[in-house]
């Protein structure tokens, strides 16, 4: 935690960027040595879960602020076919594939496609959008910390699987996430043998 976070709580941007580092770490692990098909399958599922939750929380908390303060074009760019929508579609496809059914190479190729778009999107957020946002008048430590708390709360009712056709803007996304997450959670309990990874 940075010194400036002590009094106000962590900034939403540091929380988001921490998730981004987790995705990179999991993907490095996936491509690391001594990984068998079963281990890759579990990591693939873990990535899909963590990315779905992160995207849902960004769409509930951060992107509406981007829309309000930087304009619709900036928010729609992050949500669109270069960003969340493309990632969701690819991960949705990966979610219905498996190492066992499709083979390790095909499964990995689909995930790689999604991760490539994701890493480009992360760069977009971290190097272009966040610096522009943080330099706006009215965006101060209190606001960033307040958004951080909301981001954390949104993770608790976030979907844990990609839903490319679900609403991605408030207020409907909040309702859809809240209604869909129990079903995603039940499917994940089965997928992860009763012990889904917790990243929040």
User: Contact residues for Fe ion (CB under 5 A)?
Assistant: 58
Torsion of CA 79, 109, 107, 104, to 10 degrees: -160
In the complex with Fe ion, the residue whose CB is nearer, 58 or 60, is: 58
Residue 45 to residue 60: CA distance in whole angstroms? 23
If the CB atoms of residues 58 and 188 are measured against Fe ion, the closer one turns out to be 58
CB of 3 to Fe ion, least distance (A): 24
Least distance CB 24 / Fe ion (angstroms): 12
Closest contact distance (angstroms) between CB of 125 and Fe ion is: 5
Least Cβ distance, residue 75 to Fe ion (angstroms) = 11
Q: Closest residue (Cβ) to Fe ion?
A: 58
SS3 176: helix
Please identify, using beta-carbon distances, which residue of 119 and 192 lies nearer to Fe ion: 119
Between the alpha carbon of residue 163 and those of residues 29, 61, 87, 168, the distances in Å are 25, 18, 10, 9
Which residue, 40 or 84, has its beta carbon nearer to Fe ion?
Answer: 84
Q: Do 89 and 79 meet the contact criterion of CB atoms below 8 Å apart?
A: no
């Amino acid at each position: 935690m940075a010194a400036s976070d002590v009094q106000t709580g962590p900034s939403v941007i540091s929380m988001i960027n921490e998730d981004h580092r987790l995705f990179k770490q999991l993907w490095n692990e996936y491509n690391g040595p001594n990984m068998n098909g079963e281990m890759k399958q579990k990591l693939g599922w873990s990535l899909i879960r963590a990315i779905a939750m992160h995207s849902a929380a960004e769409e509930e908390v951060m992107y509406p602020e981007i829309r309000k303060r930087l304009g619709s074009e900036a928010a729609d760019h992050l949500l669109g076919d270069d960003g969340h929508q493309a990632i969701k579609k690819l991960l949705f496809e990966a979610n219905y594939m498996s190492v066992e059914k499709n083979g390790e190479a095909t499964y990995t190729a689909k995930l790689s496609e999604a991760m490539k778009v994701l890493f480009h999107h992360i760069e977009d957020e971290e190097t272009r959008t966040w610096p522009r946002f943080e330099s706006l008048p009215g965006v101060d430590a209190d606001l960033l910390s307040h958004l951080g708390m909301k981001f954390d709360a949104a993770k608790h009712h976030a979907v844990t699987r990609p839903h490319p056709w679900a609403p991605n803007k408030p207020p409907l996304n909040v309702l859809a996430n809240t209604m869909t997450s129990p079903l995603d959670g039940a499917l994940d309990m089965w997928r992860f043998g009763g012990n889904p990874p917790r990243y929040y």
